[in-house]
Structure 1
Amino acid sequence: MKADVLIIGGGIQGCATAYHLARKGALVIVIEKDYSGRHASGVNAGGVRLLGRDMAEIPLSKASMEMWQTLDEDLGHDTGFRRQTLVNIAVDEVDLATAQAREAKMHDAGFMHERIIDQAELRERLPHVSANCVGGVISELDGYAIPFKATTAFRLAAENYGAQVIEGEEVLGLRRVGDAWLAQGARHGYEAETVVNCAGAWADKIALMIGDNVPLSHAAPMLMITARMPHFAKPVVGAISRQLSFKQFENGTVLIGGGAKGFADRANNRTRLDYAKLAAACRTTAEFFPIMRKASINRMWAGLEAYMPDNLPVIGPAVNAPRAFHAFGFSAHGFQMGPVVGQVLADLVIGGQSRFNLSPFRIDRFDRKVL
């Protein structure tokens, strides 16, 4: 099977890249070893978050946030996006000092999207928050989407422009022969001028086939969702210094995250929950919001996520092979950046450059430099 571009990985990064490339007229094949959105892209918390980003990510994240505001209309499919505001809670004066120091740094860099709020405004926005909390930081543009819906929306939009998504097809081999990349899947062979590595927790294996070595790790971030509750929190909620993350959906259910990790078994394509950590996340949530003491947990799960040592993704060209590009290692905060990352990769593939500074995301940034 032949294409202009072969994308390995059918998560949100791969499907968004396929969409932007197909829109520009490229013949695109996406191959996914399971099904589109099976791992991190389809089972994450769905946070569409600009607040609290690493400074290196902010330009990309801001551009992506603008795209999210009209994404349903642009794709012609429902992503479940809701602009709800994100509040990171300060539990004490130390947290407020941390927020003020970051605010000064942000303003110096020209970023004004984060705003510190006092205790009165915190309680106005979150009436059920614990009386001990003293304030927080908000970003008005932030919100959430439904991960599987959003990933599927990009996939369907890409297919509308002629992209082909092949599921259940694992890459067993990949090599450069002449001016083409040849990939051997479990069922078919593929040939393309360009290859794009969006393989998530398995991306280091694909990178090695391309010729790039990378210190990627993987883990299993856990989530749980409650039965329906009375509505008590419209904003998405986090905390400055605690592992707190939750959102209440329109149907009353509450999704609880916080970054606790279970056990990842990448070789066997599965995860296992750590119930002690989930219990700790429940206690933390109830400390911040006593109303949550009445909540009953309905379901718990974990995804397989790729992490880089500095928690910044790899985005950009391969360094040891031509016509190869990477987008992986988003370290549990890549969902929001999916729309813009797809656009960036399409620009790199077709035009050879991006309007963003991608140097912080180079795949070889951890290589030892010989002087």
Structure 2
Amino acid sequence: MAGSDVLVIGGGLHGCSAALHLAMRGASVTLVEKDYPGRHASGVNAGGVRRLGRALPEIPLSIASMELWHRIADLVDDECGFESHGQVKLAESEADLATCRERAETLRAMGFDHEEVIDERELRDLVPAAAPHVVGGLVSRGDGAALPFRTVQAFRNKAERLGARIVEGVAVTDLRREGRDFVARLADGRELSAPILVNAAGAWAGRVAERFGEPVPLEVVAPMLMITERRAPFLKPVVGATSRTLSFKQFANGTVLIGGGYLGRADPDTNRTVLDYAKLGENARTVRDLFPVMRDARVVRAWAGIEARMKDGIPVIGPSRTEEGLFHSFGYSLHGFQLGPICGAILAELVTTGRTNLPVEPFSIARFGARAA
């Protein structure tokens, strides 16, 4: 039986980030991923790196993570395709603009100033291709986007260079406690053990939590994305909308990514997703309404990843309530990509020191209650 200090289940961005930060702190780490790192939500999302529009409990973590994104090459030896042209939420009416003002005022009252209301003139400077009816918006100027799969691989590879053992392409078929150790049996018959277990299993993390007496209201979802043919350059920031569902960005090669959280169907047992073309059509119509330049654009590909969404829309981060040595990092609810760098650091702090300076209490699994294992 192969042993290490920490066993990480799940090779998405959060699992790889935890493995990296633990290795940086001198822990011996084994990470197990049933497919390959970045196969699911972490590698096939829109790549948004945003503080804009965050749930209030997430804002301190998001701000800390943004500091890491702006020097991401120092952390993982790769720029990860990160570009910081800001993120903008469009206001299509005076009511939308009032919503933007209310949001900015709420954040200022909490001591945060990264979200700014902009009028129509500045909106046109930032997003000149926006439809004529757009009257302003909300901007977070330091935000941006990165390349998801490249980012996951950068974290995975740096963790491995620092000594982490990465086990890919084999599933965990059983998890149990034997004395002080957690023992994972793999599909090929091998067994791995460690006194610390990090549950970063994404859409499958609820099964791990329930195995140790902590059932959670986790929904497995399949957020969809589309990409178009190449267009002449017309957009630098990542764009969303105040009263519609949208995530919209143009790559340097001219292709345009369209998303925003429209859901297909996910089957976590088979790793398969099924697209909902009616919802994709709704997503495309939003783009037509907001960007006339896109009205003749052709969609060349659409896909969906498998992800975990929590009932309250925020993740589970921190120690188990029922099992000493078990730590959770899952349920990022379609907006976990930007948080990846800092949440790995938080998990490493909690594992090695038992504390963190960032406010993680709102993300405790204890908020869902617990039962005996």
**What range is the shorter-chain TM-score in?**
over 0.9
| Partner in structure 2 of residue 176 of structure 1 | 177
| Alpha-carbon distance between aligned partners in 1 of 2:279 and 2:216, rounded to the nearest angstrom | 29
| Alpha-carbon distance between aligned partners in 1 of 2:260 and 2:54, rounded to the nearest angstrom | 16
Give the letter for the 2:218 counterpart: L
| Alpha-carbon distance between aligned partners in 1 of 2:354 and 2:177, rounded to the nearest angstrom | 19
| Alignment check: 8 A CA contact 1:238 1:246 kept | yes
| Partner in structure 1 of residue 9 of structure 2 | 8
| Alpha-carbon distance between aligned partners in 1 of 2:251 and 2:121, rounded to the nearest angstrom | 24
| Alpha-carbon distance between aligned partners in 2 of 1:28 and 1:312, rounded to the nearest angstrom | 27
CA drift at 1:172: 1.3
| Alpha-carbon distance between aligned partners in 2 of 1:280 and 1:357, rounded to the nearest angstrom | 38
| Partner in structure 2 of residue 238 of structure 1 | 240
CA drift at 1:366: 2.3
| Alpha-carbon distance between aligned partners in 2 of 1:275 and 1:125, rounded to the nearest angstrom | 31
Cα RMSD (Å): 1.1
Deviating more after overlay: 174-183 vs 332-341: 174-183
| Partner in structure 2 of residue 256 of structure 1 | 258
| Alpha-carbon distance between aligned partners in 2 of 1:75 and 1:367, rounded to the nearest angstrom | 37
Residues 174-323 of structure 1: pairs in structure 2 closer than 5 A = 174-187=175-188, 188-323=190-325
SS in 2 for 1:203: helix
C-alpha offsets along residues 197-230 of structure 1, whole Å, 9 cap, x if unaligned? 0000000011122332111111100001011100
| Partner in structure 2 of residue 103 of structure 1 | 104
| Alpha-carbon distance between aligned partners in 2 of 1:64 and 1:78, rounded to the nearest angstrom | 15
| Alignment check: 8 A CA contact 2:226 2:259 kept | yes
| Alignment check: 8 A CA contact 1:78 1:149 kept | no
| Partner in structure 1 of residue 50 of structure 2 | 49
Residues 23-34 of structure 1: pairs in structure 2 closer than 5 A = 23-34=24-35
Give the letter for the 2:113 counterpart: M
| Alpha-carbon distance between aligned partners in 2 of 1:262 and 1:58, rounded to the nearest angstrom | 28
| Partner in structure 1 of residue 363 of structure 2 | 361
| Alpha-carbon distance between aligned partners in 2 of 1:244 and 1:123, rounded to the nearest angstrom | 19
| Alignment check: 8 A CA contact 2:76 2:155 kept | yes
| Alpha-carbon distance between aligned partners in 2 of 1:366 and 1:100, rounded to the nearest angstrom | 33
| Alpha-carbon distance between aligned partners in 1 of 2:63 and 2:137, rounded to the nearest angstrom | 21
Deviating more after overlay: 156-165 vs 166-175: 166-175
Give the letter for the 1:131 counterpart: P
- Number of residue pairs matched? 369
CA drift at 1:174: 1.1
Give the letter for the 1:343 counterpart: A
| Alpha-carbon distance between aligned partners in 1 of 2:269 and 2:217, rounded to the nearest angstrom | 17
CA drift at 1:74: 2.3
CA drift at 1:73: 2.9
2:56 pairs with 1:59: no
Give the letter for the 1:23 counterpart: M
| Alpha-carbon distance between aligned partners in 2 of 1:261 and 1:153, rounded to the nearest angstrom | 28
Runs of 4+ that moved beyond 2 A: 366-369
| Alpha-carbon distance between aligned partners in 2 of 1:45 and 1:249, rounded to the nearest angstrom | 11
Deviating more after overlay: 285-294 vs 359-368: 359-368
CA drift at 1:288: 0.2
| Alignment check: 8 A CA contact 1:313 1:328 kept | yes
TM-score, normalised to structure 2, is: 0.97
CA drift at 1:171: 1.3
CA drift at 1:117: 0.2
Give the letter for the 2:48 counterpart: G
| Alignment check: 8 A CA contact 2:321 2:370 kept | no
Give the letter for the 1:212 counterpart: E
C-alpha offsets along residues 249-296 of structure 1, whole Å, 9 cap, x if unaligned? 100000000211011111211101011111111111010000001211
2:365 pairs with 1:350: no
SS in 1 for 2:123: helix
| Alpha-carbon distance between aligned partners in 2 of 1:242 and 1:337, rounded to the nearest angstrom | 23
| Alpha-carbon distance between aligned partners in 1 of 2:324 and 2:245, rounded to the nearest angstrom | 42
Aligned sequence identity (%): 51
| Partner in structure 2 of residue 115 of structure 1 | 116
| Alignment check: 8 A CA contact 1:233 1:248 kept | yes
SS in 2 for 1:365: helix
Give the letter for the 1:153 counterpart: A
| Partner in structure 2 of residue 133 of structure 1 | 134
Give the letter for the 1:154 counterpart: F
| Alignment check: 8 A CA contact 1:214 1:364 kept | no
| Partner in structure 2 of residue 68 of structure 1 | 69
CA drift at 1:368: 8.2
Residues 327-338 of structure 1: pairs in structure 2 closer than 5 A = 327-338=329-340
| Alpha-carbon distance between aligned partners in 2 of 1:244 and 1:194, rounded to the nearest angstrom | 39
CA drift at 1:80: 0.9
CA drift at 1:104: 1.4
> For structure 1, which runs of at least 5 residues remain unmatched after alignment?
none
| Alignment check: 8 A CA contact 1:314 1:362 kept | yes
| Alpha-carbon distance between aligned partners in 1 of 2:345 and 2:125, rounded to the nearest angstrom | 38
SS in 2 for 1:241: coil
| Alpha-carbon distance between aligned partners in 2 of 1:97 and 1:184, rounded to the nearest angstrom | 55
SS in 2 for 1:82: coil
| Alpha-carbon distance between aligned partners in 2 of 1:286 and 1:63, rounded to the nearest angstrom | 35
